Structure 1
Amino acid sequence: MNKAVQGFLLASTTALMWGVLPVFLKFLLSALDAYTVTAVRFVFAFGFVSVGVVFCRDVPRLKQAKPIVWYLLVLSTLFLLLNYVTNVIALEYISPATVQLILQLAPFILLVGGVVFYKEHFSAWQMFGAVLLLVGLLLFFNQRIPVILSSSLESIEGVFIVVLSATAWALYALAQKRLLIAFTSRQLTFLIYLIGAVLLTPLSTFSSLQNLSYWQWWVLLFCCVNTIVGYGAFTRAMHIWEASKVSAIVAVAPVFTYFANKLAIVIAPDVYFDAEMDLLAYFGAGMIILGAIIASIGKRHGA
C-alpha cells in the first residue's frame, strides 16, 4: 500500500473518529459532567502513551527545554483542556452536528494565527477558502440563530461556547508548533496528557462513574479509545502525507457527525434531537466544509 492510500485512509479514520465523537459524548452527559469525562479520557490516553514513551526510552527530561518553553507547554495544555471541556459543555445547549460545524472555525483561526505569529504566507486560494467559510457561516446562522433562540431544545449559549472551543484549539495548535522544536511528538503528547490529567483531577467527580449504565460504560470506553485512534491516525497521516490533503479530508468530519446524529435519533430519540435547518442553512453548511477544504489545499498550492 503506497503512502498516498495510507494517508487517505488515516485521514479518513481521523475524520470519522472526530465526526462521531460529539454524538457519543452527548450520551454520557446524563451521568457525567464535562470535567469528569475529559479527565477520564486524559488519564486513559496518558496511560497508553506512557507505555510507548517508556518502551522507546523517550521520556522527556527537565533540562531538555528552557523554562519559557515549559511555561508555554502548560499554557498550551490549558488551551487544549478548554477545547475538550467546552466541546462537551456545548452539547448541553446545541446539537452535535451544529457543534462540529462551528468547530470548522478552528482551522480558519489557525491560518490567521500562522500569519500573525509565524509570518506565514496567506495565499489567494487560502483567502478564497476563508471567505467561502465565513460566508457559509453567515448563511448557516442566518436561519439557525432565530430557530435556536425560539427553540426549547437548543440555546444560543452553545454557539458562543463552541466559538470559544474552536479558538482554544487554534491557540493550542499555534503553541504546539513552537513546542515541537523542543520535544518529539511522542514526548509532547505524553506531557500534555500528564499535565491535563493532573489539572483536571481536582475538578472531576470520579464517584459519578458508578452511576453509569452498561451502555454508558461502553460509550465512555469508545470515547477514550477515540482520543488515541483519532489523534494517532492524524499524527501518522501528517507524517506520511501532505498536511494540506490531510486537513482537507479531516474537514469533512461534520458530514460524519450529521449522519451519526441521524442514526442516534432513531436509536435514542429521548436523548438526541435533529437540528432544525432549511435549504439555505444546508447550503451554508456545505460552503463551510468546502471553504475549510479549499483553505487547507491552498496552503500547499498558494504562491
Structure 2
Amino acid sequence: MKGILLASTTAILWGILAIALKIALNYFDSYTIVWFRFLVATTVLATYYAIKKPSMLSVYKKPPLLMVVGAILLAGNYIGYMQGINYAGPGATQIIIQTGPVMLGIIGFTVFKERLTISRVLGFAIATGGFFVFYYNQSNGVVIQKYELFKGVLWTLGAAASWAGYAFVNKKLVLKYHPQQINLIIFGLPILLFLPTVDFHSFTQTYEWWVWLLMLALGLNTVVAYGTLSAAFKYTEANKISIVIIMNPIITFVILEVLLLLNISWFPINKVSMMAYVGALLVLGGTVLAIGLSQKKKINAHDA
C-alpha cells in the first residue's frame, strides 16, 4: 500500500504538471520553462548532497559518456513534451506521450530479448489503434487547429522516443551508479544545452507572485515526482507501479473537464469528443497490457 500511495503521488504530480506547464506558457516560452525546471531540480539535488553526502558530487569531475547520452535524451524528452503541450494542449499530449512506455516495451523484446507474450502483442495493437482513433477525432477541426495538433503530435512522439531511449540508457546506468548520482548529470547537463535558447528578458518582467511560485513548483515537481517514484520501487512490484503511473492522463482530463465546467479560461480548452475519449482509453488500456501484465519487473519513468 505504501508503494501504491507513493506511485499515486507521482501520477498526481504528473497529471497536474501538464496543466501547470500550459499555464506557464502564458508568461514564458517552452525553452525557458524547460531550462528553469532543470535549473531548480539540479540546484535542489546538488545542494542537498553537498551538505549530506559531498562524495556524490564527484560524478561532475568526469561524467561517464552514457550519462551524457542519457542527459541529451532526457533533454529531448522535456522539450518535446513541452512543445507538445504548447501546440496540441495538455490532454492530447498526455495521451500521445504514453507511446513512450510502448516504445520501451518494443526495445525490451528486441534488444533485451524479453519474452513476447500474446497479451503484449494485443496491448501494442490496442494502444496503436487507440492512438489513431484519438488523433482522428481530435483533428476534426479547422485547418489551423489540425496543423497545430499535427505539430504537437510530432513533438510529443519525439519526446516519447527520447524517453524510451533515456529509460533504456538509465536501465544500464543504475546497475553501476546511484540513481540520484545519475540525476545530478541528466538534470544538470541540459542547463548548459538549453542555455543559448533561454529568454532571460522574460525574467525581468513584473509578474504577479503566483507566476514565480508556479515556475518554482514546476522545477520542484521534477525532484519530488522522481523521488516518490524511486521510493515506490522499494515497496512494491514495478508492474503495479507502472499501471498506477500510466493513469496520470486521467487526472489531467478530469482537471480539464472541471475547468470547462467552471468556465475557467487560463488557456483555450477544446471539448474532447466521446470517440476521442474512447481512443484515449484504448491507448491507456493497451499500454497497461503491453507493459503491466506480462512482467514482474520493469523500470518506468516520465517526462515531464
Q: Same fold (TM over 0.5)?
A: yes
Give secondary structure in 2 for the equivalent of 1:155: helix
2:104 to 90, 106, 110: 110
Q: Which residue of 2 aligns with 1:132?
A: 126
In structure 2, what is the equivalent of residue 21 of structure 1? 17
Residue 56 in structure 1 maps to residue 53 in structure 2: yes
1:10 and 2:11 aligned: no
Counting matched residue pairs gives 294
Give the gaps of 5 or more residues in structure 2. 298-304
2:47 counterpart letter in structure 1: V
- For residues 85 and 286 of structure 1, the distance between their equivalents in structure 2, rounded to whole angstroms, comes to 26
Q: Is 1:203–2:206 an aligned residue pair?
A: no
Alpha-carbon offset, residue 82 of structure 1: 1.0
Q: Give the distance between the partners of 1:153 and 1:257, measured in 2 at CA.
A: 23
Q: Which residue of the other structure, out of 283, 291, 296, is the alignment partner of 1:288?
A: 283
Structure 1 segment 169-180 matched on structure 2, within 5 A: 169-180=163-174
SS in 2 for 1:125: helix
Larger mean CA deviation between 284-293 and 118-127 belongs to: 118-127
1:271 aligns with 2:238: no
Partner Cα separation in structure 2 for residue 38 and residue 150 of structure 1: 26
Is the contact made by 2:60 and 2:185 (CA closer than 8 Å) also made in structure 1? no
Aligned-partner Cα distance in 2 for 1:151–1:49: 40
Distance in structure 2 (CA, Å) of the matches to 1:280 and 1:213: 39
Deviation at 1:183, TM superposition (A): 1.3
CA contact (8 A) 1:32 1:208 kept: yes
Distance 1:18 1:243 in 2: 18
Do structure 1's residue 253 and structure 2's residue 231 form an aligned pair?
A: no
Normalising by structure 2, what TM-score?
Answer: 0.88
Q: TM-score, normalised by structure 1?
A: 0.88
Identify which range, 123-132 or 91-100, moves more after superposition. 123-132
For the pair 1:34 / 2:20, whether they are aligned, the reply is no
C-alpha contact (below 8 Å) 1:95/1:154 kept by paired residues: no
Counterpart CA distance in 2 for 1:210 and 1:267 is 31
Is contact 1:109-1:167 (8 Å) kept?
A: yes
Tell me the CA shift for residue 219 of structure 1: 1.5
Alpha-carbon distance in 2 for matches of 1:24, 1:233: 19
Instruction: Specify the code of the residue in structure 1 equivalent to 2:246.
Output: A
1:140-174: CA deviation from partner (whole Å, max 9, x where unpaired): 22322333746389432111111111111111111
CA pair 220-61 structure 1, distance change in 2 beyond 3 A = closer
Counterpart in the other structure of 1:231: 226
Q: Once the two structures are aligned, what percentage of the paired residues are identical?
A: 26
Q: Secondary structure at the match of 2:115?
A: coil
What residue ranges of structure 1 are gaps of 5+ in the alignment?
A: none
Mapping of 1:79-158 within 5 angstroms? 79-147=73-141, 149=143, 151=145, 154-158=148-152
CA RMSD of aligned residues (A): 2.4
CA contact (8 A) 1:76 1:175 kept: yes
Alignment equivalent of 1:163, drawn from 157, 161, 165: 157
Q: Following the alignment from structure 1 to structure 2, what is the Cα–Cα distance between the partners of residues 186 and 252? A: 25
Report the secondary structure of 2:140's partner residue.
helix
